[in-house]
Structure 1
Amino acid sequence: MSEIHIEHHKSKHARAALEGRKSPWGVLRELVVDMVPVILGILIALSFNSLKEAWKERREEEYYLRGLRKDLTEDLAELKSDVAQYRVKKKAAAYLLRYDLARNPASDSAYYYFRLLPGQTAPNITNATFVTLQSSGRLGLMKNKAVAGQLVLLYTDVVKGLTNITASFNDFKQTYLFDVWVTEFDYAQIDRTHDIRPVLQNRTVRNALHLLWFDEVIGRYQQAIAAHERIIAQLQQELP
Protein backbone atom coordinates (compact mmCIF):
# COMPACT_ATOMS: atom_id res chain seq x y z
CA MET A 1 0.00 0.00 0.00
CA SER A 2 1.39 3.35 -0.92
CA GLU A 3 2.28 5.86 1.76
CA ILE A 4 -0.26 8.31 0.40
CA HIS A 5 -2.99 5.73 0.69
CA ILE A 6 -1.96 4.80 4.24
CA GLU A 7 -1.99 8.43 5.33
CA HIS A 8 -5.35 8.94 3.77
CA HIS A 9 -6.69 5.88 5.59
CA LYS A 10 -5.37 7.10 8.94
CA SER A 11 -6.82 10.54 8.36
CA LYS A 12 -10.18 9.05 7.58
CA HIS A 13 -10.22 7.05 10.81
CA ALA A 14 -9.08 10.04 12.83
CA ARG A 15 -11.91 12.16 11.50
CA ALA A 16 -14.37 9.37 12.28
CA ALA A 17 -13.04 9.11 15.81
CA LEU A 18 -13.32 12.86 16.31
CA GLU A 19 -16.82 12.91 14.92
CA GLY A 20 -17.84 10.02 17.20
CA ARG A 21 -16.51 11.72 20.29
CA LYS A 22 -19.24 13.78 22.07
CA SER A 23 -18.62 17.21 23.43
CA PRO A 24 -19.38 17.93 27.15
CA TRP A 25 -22.40 20.01 26.14
CA GLY A 26 -23.69 17.17 24.05
CA VAL A 27 -23.40 14.75 26.93
CA LEU A 28 -25.16 17.21 29.23
CA ARG A 29 -27.91 17.75 26.69
CA GLU A 30 -28.56 14.04 26.38
CA LEU A 31 -28.55 13.67 30.18
CA VAL A 32 -31.10 16.44 30.53
CA VAL A 33 -33.30 14.92 27.84
CA ASP A 34 -33.15 11.57 29.60
CA MET A 35 -33.86 13.06 33.04
CA VAL A 36 -36.80 15.30 32.09
CA PRO A 37 -39.38 12.46 31.96
CA VAL A 38 -38.11 11.10 35.26
CA ILE A 39 -38.29 14.49 36.94
CA LEU A 40 -41.73 15.16 35.53
CA GLY A 41 -42.92 11.80 36.79
CA ILE A 42 -41.63 12.52 40.27
CA LEU A 43 -43.24 15.97 40.31
CA ILE A 44 -46.57 14.57 39.14
CA ALA A 45 -46.43 11.86 41.80
CA LEU A 46 -45.62 14.40 44.50
CA SER A 47 -48.41 16.69 43.33
CA PHE A 48 -50.86 13.82 43.31
CA ASN A 49 -49.86 12.77 46.83
CA SER A 50 -50.12 16.37 48.01
CA LEU A 51 -53.61 16.72 46.53
CA LYS A 52 -54.59 13.40 48.03
CA GLU A 53 -53.42 14.46 51.49
CA ALA A 54 -55.16 17.84 51.16
CA TRP A 55 -58.40 16.09 50.16
CA LYS A 56 -58.05 13.67 53.08
CA GLU A 57 -57.46 16.53 55.54
CA ARG A 58 -60.45 18.44 54.21
CA ARG A 59 -62.72 15.40 54.58
CA GLU A 60 -61.45 14.91 58.12
CA GLU A 61 -62.00 18.59 58.91
CA GLU A 62 -65.56 18.42 57.54
CA TYR A 63 -66.22 15.36 59.72
CA TYR A 64 -65.20 17.22 62.86
CA LEU A 65 -66.96 20.43 61.83
CA ARG A 66 -70.20 18.52 61.41
CA GLY A 67 -69.68 16.91 64.81
CA LEU A 68 -69.08 20.29 66.40
CA ARG A 69 -72.17 21.74 64.76
CA LYS A 70 -74.28 18.82 65.98
CA ASP A 71 -72.98 19.12 69.55
CA LEU A 72 -73.47 22.87 69.63
CA THR A 73 -76.99 22.65 68.17
CA GLU A 74 -78.03 20.09 70.78
CA ASP A 75 -76.46 22.17 73.55
CA LEU A 76 -78.20 25.31 72.29
CA ALA A 77 -81.61 23.64 72.57
CA GLU A 78 -80.86 22.54 76.13
CA LEU A 79 -79.53 25.96 77.13
CA LYS A 80 -82.72 27.61 75.88
CA SER A 81 -84.80 25.08 77.80
CA ASP A 82 -82.77 25.69 80.96
CA VAL A 83 -83.02 29.47 80.79
CA ALA A 84 -86.79 29.17 80.31
CA GLN A 85 -86.92 27.12 83.53
CA TYR A 86 -84.90 29.74 85.39
CA ARG A 87 -87.28 32.46 84.23
CA VAL A 88 -90.21 30.43 85.57
CA LYS A 89 -88.40 29.88 88.89
CA LYS A 90 -87.64 33.60 89.10
CA LYS A 91 -91.33 34.37 88.59
CA ALA A 92 -92.22 31.83 91.28
CA ALA A 93 -89.81 33.37 93.81
CA ALA A 94 -91.14 36.87 93.06
CA TYR A 95 -94.73 35.66 93.55
CA LEU A 96 -93.90 34.08 96.92
CA LEU A 97 -92.14 37.23 98.13
CA ARG A 98 -95.24 39.28 97.24
CA TYR A 99 -97.58 36.79 98.88
CA ASP A 100 -99.42 38.46 101.77
CA LEU A 101 -99.14 35.92 104.56
CA ALA A 102 -101.41 37.87 106.90
CA ARG A 103 -104.31 38.31 104.52
CA ASN A 104 -104.19 35.28 102.22
CA PRO A 105 -105.25 31.83 103.36
CA ALA A 106 -103.65 28.62 102.21
CA SER A 107 -103.32 28.96 98.47
CA ASP A 108 -102.97 26.37 95.74
CA SER A 109 -101.21 29.02 93.65
CA ALA A 110 -98.63 29.69 96.35
CA TYR A 111 -98.09 25.97 96.80
CA TYR A 112 -97.76 25.52 93.03
CA TYR A 113 -95.13 28.24 92.77
CA PHE A 114 -93.23 26.93 95.75
CA ARG A 115 -93.11 23.47 94.19
CA LEU A 116 -91.63 25.00 91.03
CA LEU A 117 -88.49 25.99 92.90
CA PRO A 118 -87.08 22.54 93.75
CA GLY A 119 -84.99 20.64 91.30
CA GLN A 120 -81.55 21.50 90.04
CA THR A 121 -81.29 22.97 86.58
CA ALA A 122 -77.75 22.96 85.23
CA PRO A 123 -76.16 22.86 81.77
CA ASN A 124 -75.42 19.42 80.41
CA ILE A 125 -72.92 20.28 77.70
CA THR A 126 -72.16 17.80 74.92
CA ASN A 127 -68.61 18.70 73.96
CA ALA A 128 -67.36 15.25 72.90
CA THR A 129 -66.15 16.41 69.48
CA PHE A 130 -64.23 19.36 70.92
CA VAL A 131 -62.65 17.18 73.62
CA THR A 132 -61.57 14.68 70.96
CA LEU A 133 -60.00 17.42 68.83
CA GLN A 134 -58.24 19.05 71.75
CA SER A 135 -56.99 15.90 73.49
CA SER A 136 -55.67 14.41 70.23
CA GLY A 137 -53.93 17.64 69.25
CA ARG A 138 -55.98 17.89 66.07
CA LEU A 139 -57.58 21.24 66.73
CA GLY A 140 -55.15 22.56 64.13
CA LEU A 141 -57.16 20.75 61.44
CA MET A 142 -59.58 23.67 61.53
CA LYS A 143 -58.52 26.10 58.82
CA ASN A 144 -60.57 28.92 60.35
CA LYS A 145 -58.42 29.75 63.36
CA ALA A 146 -60.88 32.40 64.53
CA VAL A 147 -63.63 29.78 64.96
CA ALA A 148 -61.19 27.42 66.69
CA GLY A 149 -60.29 30.20 69.11
CA GLN A 150 -63.94 30.93 69.82
CA LEU A 151 -64.55 27.25 70.58
CA VAL A 152 -61.69 27.20 73.07
CA LEU A 153 -63.05 30.37 74.72
CA LEU A 154 -66.58 28.93 74.78
CA TYR A 155 -65.68 25.70 76.55
CA THR A 156 -62.90 26.98 78.83
CA ASP A 157 -64.51 30.25 79.87
CA VAL A 158 -68.19 30.75 78.98
CA VAL A 159 -69.44 27.22 79.69
CA LYS A 160 -67.16 26.83 82.70
CA GLY A 161 -68.46 30.08 84.20
CA LEU A 162 -72.06 29.03 83.58
CA THR A 163 -71.46 25.64 85.18
CA ASN A 164 -69.88 27.21 88.26
CA ILE A 165 -72.62 29.78 88.82
CA THR A 166 -75.46 27.26 88.42
CA ALA A 167 -73.71 24.86 90.81
CA SER A 168 -73.41 27.62 93.43
CA PHE A 169 -77.02 28.67 92.85
CA ASN A 170 -78.36 25.14 93.24
CA ASP A 171 -76.26 24.46 96.34
CA PHE A 172 -77.51 27.67 97.96
CA LYS A 173 -81.11 26.90 97.08
CA GLN A 174 -80.84 23.37 98.43
CA THR A 175 -79.21 24.44 101.69
CA TYR A 176 -81.32 27.48 102.57
CA LEU A 177 -84.68 26.52 101.09
CA PHE A 178 -85.31 22.83 100.85
CA ASP A 179 -83.09 21.46 103.58
CA VAL A 180 -84.88 23.88 105.91
CA TRP A 181 -88.24 22.80 104.55
CA VAL A 182 -87.45 19.13 105.07
CA THR A 183 -85.85 19.44 108.49
CA GLU A 184 -88.09 22.05 110.14
CA PHE A 185 -91.51 21.34 108.64
CA ASP A 186 -93.80 18.43 108.01
CA TYR A 187 -93.54 18.57 104.23
CA ALA A 188 -95.84 15.55 103.85
CA GLN A 189 -98.60 17.52 105.56
CA ILE A 190 -97.81 20.57 103.44
CA ASP A 191 -98.19 18.41 100.34
CA ARG A 192 -101.62 17.35 101.62
CA THR A 193 -102.91 20.77 102.70
CA HIS A 194 -101.02 22.96 100.22
CA ASP A 195 -100.52 25.44 103.06
CA ILE A 196 -96.98 26.76 102.72
CA ARG A 197 -97.48 29.82 104.93
CA PRO A 198 -95.42 28.36 107.80
CA VAL A 199 -92.53 27.82 105.39
CA LEU A 200 -92.75 31.34 103.99
CA GLN A 201 -92.79 32.77 107.52
CA ASN A 202 -89.41 31.21 108.20
CA ARG A 203 -86.75 33.94 108.21
CA THR A 204 -84.10 31.72 106.57
CA VAL A 205 -86.43 30.80 103.73
CA ARG A 206 -87.52 34.39 103.10
CA ASN A 207 -83.96 35.67 103.16
CA ALA A 208 -82.95 32.94 100.73
CA LEU A 209 -85.77 33.88 98.37
CA HIS A 210 -84.54 37.48 98.46
CA LEU A 211 -80.94 36.48 97.81
CA LEU A 212 -81.42 34.05 94.93
CA TRP A 213 -79.40 35.50 92.03
CA PHE A 214 -81.67 34.62 89.11
CA ASP A 215 -80.60 37.58 86.98
CA GLU A 216 -76.92 36.62 87.12
CA VAL A 217 -77.66 33.01 86.19
CA ILE A 218 -79.98 34.01 83.36
CA GLY A 219 -77.37 36.48 82.11
CA ARG A 220 -74.73 33.73 81.96
CA TYR A 221 -77.15 31.51 80.06
CA GLN A 222 -77.85 34.29 77.57
CA GLN A 223 -74.12 34.77 77.06
CA ALA A 224 -73.66 31.06 76.38
CA ILE A 225 -76.66 30.98 74.02
CA ALA A 226 -75.30 33.92 72.01
CA ALA A 227 -71.87 32.28 71.75
CA HIS A 228 -73.41 29.00 70.57
CA GLU A 229 -75.54 30.73 67.94
CA ARG A 230 -72.57 32.72 66.64
CA ILE A 231 -70.27 29.70 66.31
CA ILE A 232 -72.99 27.53 64.73
CA ALA A 233 -73.51 30.21 62.05
CA GLN A 234 -69.78 30.34 61.35
CA LEU A 235 -69.50 26.56 61.14
CA GLN A 236 -72.38 26.53 58.70
CA GLN A 237 -70.38 28.82 56.41
CA GLU A 238 -67.36 26.49 56.61
CA LEU A 239 -69.32 23.42 55.54
CA PRO A 240 -70.29 22.67 51.92
Structure 2
Amino acid sequence: MAELEVAKSTKKIIETAKDKEKSLWHKIKEMALEIGIIIFAVSLSIAFHSWSEARHEQHQVHVFLKGVRIDLMKDMGEMNEDIKAYKNQKKAFHYLGNIPKGQTANSDSLKLFAPYFYNFTGYGGNTGRYEGFKSSGKIGFIENDDLQNSILDLYEEKIPRLTISTDFYKTQKLKFADYITDNTLDYPSGNITKVMASDPVKNRSQIYLSSVNQIISNYESCTEQMKEIVKVIDAEFPPKK
Protein backbone atom coordinates (compact mmCIF):
# COMPACT_ATOMS: atom_id res chain seq x y z
CA MET A 1 0.00 0.00 0.00
CA ALA A 2 2.79 2.45 0.89
CA GLU A 3 4.62 1.70 -2.35
CA LEU A 4 1.43 2.47 -4.29
CA GLU A 5 0.91 5.81 -2.53
CA VAL A 6 4.56 6.77 -3.14
CA ALA A 7 4.25 5.89 -6.82
CA LYS A 8 1.00 7.85 -7.20
CA SER A 9 2.38 10.92 -5.41
CA THR A 10 5.64 10.80 -7.35
CA LYS A 11 3.72 10.65 -10.62
CA LYS A 12 1.55 13.56 -9.54
CA ILE A 13 4.61 15.64 -8.60
CA ILE A 14 6.08 15.08 -12.06
CA GLU A 15 2.80 15.95 -13.76
CA THR A 16 2.41 19.09 -11.65
CA ALA A 17 5.94 20.21 -12.42
CA LYS A 18 5.26 19.86 -16.16
CA ASP A 19 1.85 21.59 -16.06
CA LYS A 20 2.34 24.94 -17.78
CA GLU A 21 -1.16 26.17 -16.97
CA LYS A 22 -0.56 26.34 -13.20
CA SER A 23 1.32 29.12 -11.47
CA LEU A 24 4.62 28.45 -9.72
CA TRP A 25 3.10 29.05 -6.29
CA HIS A 26 0.23 26.64 -7.05
CA LYS A 27 2.73 24.00 -8.23
CA ILE A 28 4.80 24.40 -5.07
CA LYS A 29 1.75 23.87 -2.83
CA GLU A 30 0.61 20.76 -4.71
CA MET A 31 4.09 19.29 -4.84
CA ALA A 32 4.62 19.99 -1.14
CA LEU A 33 1.38 18.17 -0.35
CA GLU A 34 2.44 15.14 -2.38
CA ILE A 35 5.88 15.13 -0.75
CA GLY A 36 4.13 15.17 2.63
CA ILE A 37 2.02 12.20 1.56
CA ILE A 38 5.19 10.34 0.49
CA ILE A 39 6.93 11.05 3.80
CA PHE A 40 3.87 9.92 5.75
CA ALA A 41 3.47 6.73 3.69
CA VAL A 42 7.15 5.81 4.06
CA SER A 43 7.14 6.58 7.80
CA LEU A 44 3.99 4.53 8.29
CA SER A 45 5.50 1.65 6.34
CA ILE A 46 8.70 1.72 8.41
CA ALA A 47 6.72 1.88 11.65
CA PHE A 48 4.52 -1.03 10.63
CA HIS A 49 7.54 -3.06 9.56
CA SER A 50 9.30 -2.33 12.87
CA TRP A 51 6.17 -3.26 14.83
CA SER A 52 5.76 -6.48 12.85
CA GLU A 53 9.43 -7.37 13.34
CA ALA A 54 9.30 -6.62 17.06
CA ARG A 55 6.16 -8.72 17.38
CA HIS A 56 7.86 -11.61 15.60
CA GLU A 57 10.92 -11.27 17.86
CA GLN A 58 8.79 -11.36 20.99
CA HIS A 59 6.94 -14.40 19.69
CA GLN A 60 10.31 -16.11 19.33
CA VAL A 61 11.21 -15.04 22.87
CA HIS A 62 7.90 -16.41 24.16
CA VAL A 63 8.48 -19.77 22.49
CA PHE A 64 12.07 -19.87 23.76
CA LEU A 65 11.16 -19.03 27.35
CA LYS A 66 8.36 -21.59 27.42
CA GLY A 67 10.83 -24.19 26.18
CA VAL A 68 13.51 -23.10 28.66
CA ARG A 69 10.97 -23.45 31.47
CA ILE A 70 10.40 -27.08 30.45
CA ASP A 71 14.18 -27.66 30.31
CA LEU A 72 14.72 -26.09 33.72
CA MET A 73 11.93 -28.06 35.39
CA LYS A 74 13.49 -31.26 34.05
CA ASP A 75 16.99 -30.11 35.07
CA MET A 76 15.88 -29.32 38.62
CA GLY A 77 14.43 -32.80 39.00
CA GLU A 78 17.65 -34.39 37.74
CA MET A 79 19.84 -32.11 39.84
CA ASN A 80 17.93 -32.87 43.03
CA GLU A 81 18.54 -36.57 42.40
CA ASP A 82 22.23 -35.83 41.77
CA ILE A 83 22.42 -33.93 45.06
CA LYS A 84 21.03 -36.97 46.88
CA ALA A 85 23.65 -39.16 45.19
CA TYR A 86 26.49 -36.85 46.21
CA LYS A 87 25.25 -36.71 49.79
CA ASN A 88 25.40 -40.52 49.86
CA GLN A 89 28.92 -40.39 48.41
CA LYS A 90 29.81 -37.90 51.13
CA LYS A 91 28.69 -40.43 53.76
CA ALA A 92 30.67 -43.20 52.06
CA PHE A 93 33.93 -41.27 51.92
CA HIS A 94 33.37 -39.86 55.40
CA TYR A 95 33.32 -43.45 56.63
CA LEU A 96 36.58 -44.31 54.84
CA GLY A 97 38.30 -41.12 55.91
CA ASN A 98 37.52 -41.72 59.58
CA ILE A 99 38.46 -45.38 60.06
CA PRO A 100 40.61 -45.41 63.22
CA LYS A 101 44.31 -45.90 62.56
CA GLY A 102 45.35 -49.53 62.86
CA GLN A 103 41.84 -50.85 62.13
CA THR A 104 40.55 -52.42 58.91
CA ALA A 105 37.33 -51.45 57.14
CA ASN A 106 34.14 -53.22 58.12
CA SER A 107 32.98 -55.67 55.42
CA ASP A 108 29.30 -54.85 55.92
CA SER A 109 30.00 -51.11 55.69
CA LEU A 110 31.96 -51.63 52.47
CA LYS A 111 29.02 -53.54 50.98
CA LEU A 112 26.63 -50.78 52.09
CA PHE A 113 28.71 -47.98 50.57
CA ALA A 114 30.10 -49.91 47.56
CA PRO A 115 27.70 -48.31 45.01
CA TYR A 116 29.02 -44.86 45.93
CA PHE A 117 32.73 -45.60 45.76
CA TYR A 118 32.88 -46.19 42.01
CA ASN A 119 29.80 -44.68 40.32
CA PHE A 120 29.84 -41.25 38.64
CA THR A 121 27.20 -38.56 38.82
CA GLY A 122 27.20 -35.45 36.67
CA TYR A 123 24.91 -32.90 35.04
CA GLY A 124 23.84 -34.17 31.62
CA GLY A 125 22.58 -30.78 30.59
CA ASN A 126 19.48 -29.72 28.64
CA THR A 127 21.33 -26.79 27.10
CA GLY A 128 20.61 -27.34 23.40
CA ARG A 129 17.66 -24.91 23.26
CA TYR A 130 19.68 -22.17 24.98
CA GLU A 131 22.76 -22.73 22.80
CA GLY A 132 20.65 -22.57 19.64
CA PHE A 133 18.92 -19.35 20.69
CA LYS A 134 22.22 -17.77 21.71
CA SER A 135 24.08 -18.79 18.55
CA SER A 136 21.33 -17.24 16.42
CA GLY A 137 21.92 -13.91 18.20
CA LYS A 138 18.44 -13.75 19.72
CA ILE A 139 19.25 -13.58 23.44
CA GLY A 140 19.16 -9.79 23.14
CA PHE A 141 15.47 -10.04 22.12
CA ILE A 142 14.56 -10.75 25.76
CA GLU A 143 13.30 -7.36 26.90
CA ASN A 144 13.43 -8.14 30.63
CA ASP A 145 17.08 -7.30 31.35
CA ASP A 146 17.08 -9.02 34.74
CA LEU A 147 15.70 -12.22 33.24
CA GLN A 148 18.15 -12.08 30.34
CA ASN A 149 21.10 -11.60 32.72
CA SER A 150 19.87 -14.36 35.00
CA ILE A 151 19.64 -16.84 32.10
CA LEU A 152 23.10 -15.85 30.85
CA ASP A 153 24.57 -16.19 34.35
CA LEU A 154 23.06 -19.65 34.75
CA TYR A 155 24.23 -21.07 31.42
CA GLU A 156 27.52 -19.19 31.08
CA GLU A 157 28.73 -19.14 34.70
CA LYS A 158 26.97 -21.45 37.13
CA ILE A 159 26.50 -24.55 34.95
CA PRO A 160 30.10 -24.46 33.59
CA ARG A 161 31.36 -24.09 37.19
CA LEU A 162 29.31 -27.14 38.18
CA THR A 163 30.64 -29.12 35.21
CA ILE A 164 34.25 -28.26 36.05
CA SER A 165 33.80 -29.41 39.64
CA THR A 166 32.14 -32.71 38.70
CA ASP A 167 34.74 -33.41 35.99
CA PHE A 168 37.54 -32.87 38.51
CA TYR A 169 35.78 -35.14 40.98
CA LYS A 170 35.40 -37.84 38.35
CA THR A 171 39.11 -37.69 37.50
CA GLN A 172 40.10 -38.04 41.15
CA LYS A 173 37.63 -40.87 41.66
CA LEU A 174 39.17 -42.78 38.75
CA LYS A 175 42.55 -42.47 40.45
CA PHE A 176 40.96 -43.78 43.64
CA ALA A 177 39.54 -46.78 41.77
CA ASP A 178 42.91 -47.46 40.13
CA TYR A 179 44.65 -47.45 43.53
CA ILE A 180 42.14 -49.93 44.96
CA THR A 181 42.49 -52.20 41.92
CA ASP A 182 46.30 -52.07 41.90
CA ASN A 183 46.63 -52.86 45.61
CA THR A 184 43.87 -55.40 46.21
CA LEU A 185 44.76 -59.09 46.26
CA ASP A 186 42.43 -62.12 46.11
CA TYR A 187 39.24 -60.04 45.91
CA PRO A 188 36.78 -60.34 47.64
CA SER A 189 38.26 -62.51 50.39
CA GLY A 190 41.76 -61.00 50.34
CA ASN A 191 43.08 -57.71 51.68
CA ILE A 192 40.30 -55.36 50.51
CA THR A 193 39.34 -54.33 54.07
CA LYS A 194 42.97 -53.43 54.79
CA VAL A 195 43.43 -51.51 51.53
CA MET A 196 40.24 -49.49 52.13
CA ALA A 197 41.60 -48.46 55.54
CA SER A 198 45.07 -47.54 54.26
CA ASP A 199 46.43 -44.01 54.62
CA PRO A 200 46.33 -43.24 50.86
CA VAL A 201 42.64 -44.19 50.73
CA LYS A 202 41.85 -42.24 53.90
CA ASN A 203 43.70 -39.18 52.60
CA ARG A 204 41.93 -39.31 49.24
CA SER A 205 38.61 -39.77 51.02
CA GLN A 206 39.13 -36.58 53.02
CA ILE A 207 39.87 -34.71 49.79
CA TYR A 208 36.71 -36.13 48.22
CA LEU A 209 34.67 -34.85 51.14
CA SER A 210 35.69 -31.25 50.45
CA SER A 211 35.13 -31.75 46.72
CA VAL A 212 31.67 -33.18 47.31
CA ASN A 213 30.71 -30.24 49.51
CA GLN A 214 31.72 -27.86 46.72
CA ILE A 215 29.81 -29.87 44.13
CA ILE A 216 26.64 -29.93 46.25
CA SER A 217 26.97 -26.16 46.72
CA ASN A 218 27.30 -25.68 42.95
CA TYR A 219 24.23 -27.84 42.34
CA GLU A 220 22.19 -25.91 44.89
CA SER A 221 23.31 -22.59 43.39
CA CYS A 222 22.08 -23.77 39.97
CA THR A 223 18.71 -25.04 41.24
CA GLU A 224 18.05 -21.83 43.19
CA GLN A 225 18.68 -19.72 40.10
CA MET A 226 16.56 -22.07 38.00
CA LYS A 227 13.66 -21.59 40.44
CA GLU A 228 13.96 -17.81 40.14
CA ILE A 229 14.04 -17.94 36.34
CA VAL A 230 10.96 -20.17 36.23
CA LYS A 231 9.20 -17.82 38.65
CA VAL A 232 9.86 -14.80 36.41
CA ILE A 233 8.83 -16.69 33.26
CA ASP A 234 5.58 -17.76 34.93
CA ALA A 235 4.91 -14.14 35.95
CA GLU A 236 5.42 -12.87 32.37
CA PHE A 237 3.71 -15.80 30.66
CA PRO A 238 1.30 -17.41 33.13
CA PRO A 239 0.82 -21.15 32.39
CA LYS A 240 -2.60 -21.98 30.99
CA LYS A 241 -4.82 -23.77 33.48
TM-score band by shorter chain is 0.7 to 0.9
TM-score between both structures, scaled by the size of structure 1: 0.74
Native 8 Å contact 2:98 2:202 kept in 1: no
In the other structure, the counterpart of 2:200 is 204
Change (3 A) 1:82 1:105: closer
Give the C-alpha shift of residue 52 in structure 1.
2.4
- 1:96/1:113 contact within 8 Å kept: no
Change (3 A) 1:201 1:103: closer
**Structure 2 portions without partners, runs of 5+:** 1-20
CA contact (8 A) 2:83 2:216 kept: yes
Residue 181 of structure 1: aligned partner: 180
Give how far 1:208 is off. Answer: 0.9
Amino acid at match of 2:193: R
Aligned pairs for 1:60-99 within 5 A: 60-99=60-99
Measured after TM superposition, the shift of residue 62 of structure 1 is 0.8
Q: Which residue of 1 aligns with 2:226?
A: 228
Unmatched runs of 5 consecutive residues or more in structure 1: 1-20
- d(CA) in 1 for partners of 2:65 and 2:168? 33
Note closer, same or farther for the CA distance 1:51–1:157 as it changes in structure 2 (3 Å cut).
Answer: closer
Q: Secondary structure at the match of 1:95?
A: helix
> What letter corresponds to residue 179 of structure 1 in structure 2?
D
Do 1:108 and 1:194's aligned partners in 2 also have CA atoms closer than 8 Å? no
- Alpha-carbon RMSD: 3.1
Q: Amino acid of the residue matched to residue 217 of structure 1?
A: I
How many Å apart are 1:87 and its aligned residue?
A: 0.4
| Partners of 1:237 and 1:144 in 2: CA distance | 12
CA contact (8 A) 1:110 1:196 kept: no
Corresponding position of 1:155:
155
Structure 2 length-normalised TM = 0.74
Alpha-carbon spacing, 1:226–1:23, altered in 2? closer, same or farther (3 Å): same
Q: What is the number of residues matched between the two proteins?
A: 216
Query: How far off its partner does 1:32 sit?
Result: 6.6
Q: Which residue of 1 aligns with 2:12?
A: none
Instruction: Give the conservation status (yes or no) of the 8 Å contact 2:185–2:192.
Output: no
Shift, 1:179, TM fit? 0.6
Contact map agreement 2:82 2:121 (CA 8 A) in 1: yes
Percent pairwise identity:
23
Q: What letter corresponds to residue 232 of structure 1 in structure 2?
A: V
Deviation readout 1:180-207 (Å, 9 max, x if unpaired): 11111147x32xx598422223221111
Match for 2:178: what amino acid? Answer: D
Q: Max radius of gyration: which structure?
A: 1
